[in-house]
Amino acid sequence: MAMTLDTTAPDVAETREKPASNRRWQRFARPALGVVLPLTLALAWELAVWSGWSNGRLVPPPSRVFTTIMELARTGELSRHITTTLSRVTAGFGLGVVAGTLLGAISGYWGIARQLLDPTIQALRAIPSIAWVPLFILWLGIFETSKVALIAVGVFFPVYLGVMGAILSVDRKIVEVGRTFRLSGPAMIRRILLPAVLPAYVVALRVGLGLGWMFVVAAEFMGASEGLGYLLIDGQQLGKPAQILAAITIFALLGKTTDWLIELITTPLLRWQDAFRPGGEA
């Protein structure tokens, strides 16, 4: 029958191999596209100040921000502030992710736990997290613990919601495949549920990380003697806009880098996804 063609058509090499030049373009030129806009703006501002069109006092040009960063780096202050902030975010993110994942998984997996836990957690979520600050300071003091707690709270909710929602939306049809092969509870979790929720989990982690960076600033505003948030406050109080912009730049770099790290680690695990990628594969 003519239709057996379908079985034997030798189309192995159809999509995998692309011309080398094409791939190089994908590797380097596509990401490069992303820096065109910020570089142009920075250059334009640099020129505006350099040509005397603006004195650049309130909005210092990129070169001055860069000098400030180098100066901070030279005295060793910069690495101290970065280390402090990074360790706060790491601790808060870690705690928030662990708690959010555990409770999200429990709420997603067991209906009774969901009915018991979820209303309370949703009610707590409705409270703007910054509102906890006074209480945290009273309970935990003004030092590291209260800061880490605030960050953890910020990270917790998106991770919790992401994990629970992902589990609840796992396709019943795919779970049934696991059932027909008589998977035990743990095997069902490992071989069906975990891979199925992974894409949504990665998104939840990235949202959580973003909130972690947001809340570390809030935490460092509430009285800190070091950290990038302290640099911001210090720059404001001493009238050093270049220092503020320097701190903001570092925040941007750190935030982007940590987000990229999550992406880098998880991309190999998500290659199978059949997702809509507008504008071609990224």
Partner 1 sequence: MLALDKVGKTYPNGVHALERFSAAIPQGEIVAIIGGSGCGKSTLLRAVAGLDRASTGSIRIDNIDITAPHEKIGIIFQEPRLLPWLSVADNIGFGLSDLPAATRREKVAQALARVGLSDKAKAWPRELSGGQAQRVAIARALVPQPEVLLLDEPFSALDAFTRRDLQDHLLDLWADTRPTLILVTHDVDEAVVLADRVLVMRPRPGRLFAEIQVNLARPRDRASPLFEAVKRRVLTALDRSLDRNVPDSAPAETVGAWW
Q: Which residues of the chain form contacts with partner 1 (CB under 8 A)?
A: 1-4, 6-8, 10-12, 15, 173-174, 176-177, 179-182, 187, 191-192, 195-196, 198, 271-274
Residue 164 CB neighbours (<10 A):
26
Least distance (Å) from partner 1 to the CB of residue 172?
10
CB of 263 to partner 1, least distance (A): 18
Is the CB of 74 or the CB of 271 nearer to partner 1? 271
Residue 200 Cβ, how far from partner 1 at the closest point, in Å? 13
Residues 190, 194, 195: CA angle, nearest 5 degrees: 105
Q: How many residues does the chain have?
A: 282
Lookup result for tokens 């987000």 = 259
For residues 1 and 36, which CB has a smaller minimum distance to partner 1 in the complex? 1
Nearer to partner 1, 30 or 179 (CB): 179
Closest of 5, 91, 115 to residue 83, by C-alpha = 91
Give the residue among 217, 226, 194 at the shortest CA–CA distance from 101.
194
Shortest Å, Cβ 190 to partner 1: 11
- Pick 16 or 74: Cβ nearer partner 1: 16
74/182 with CB nearer partner 1: 182
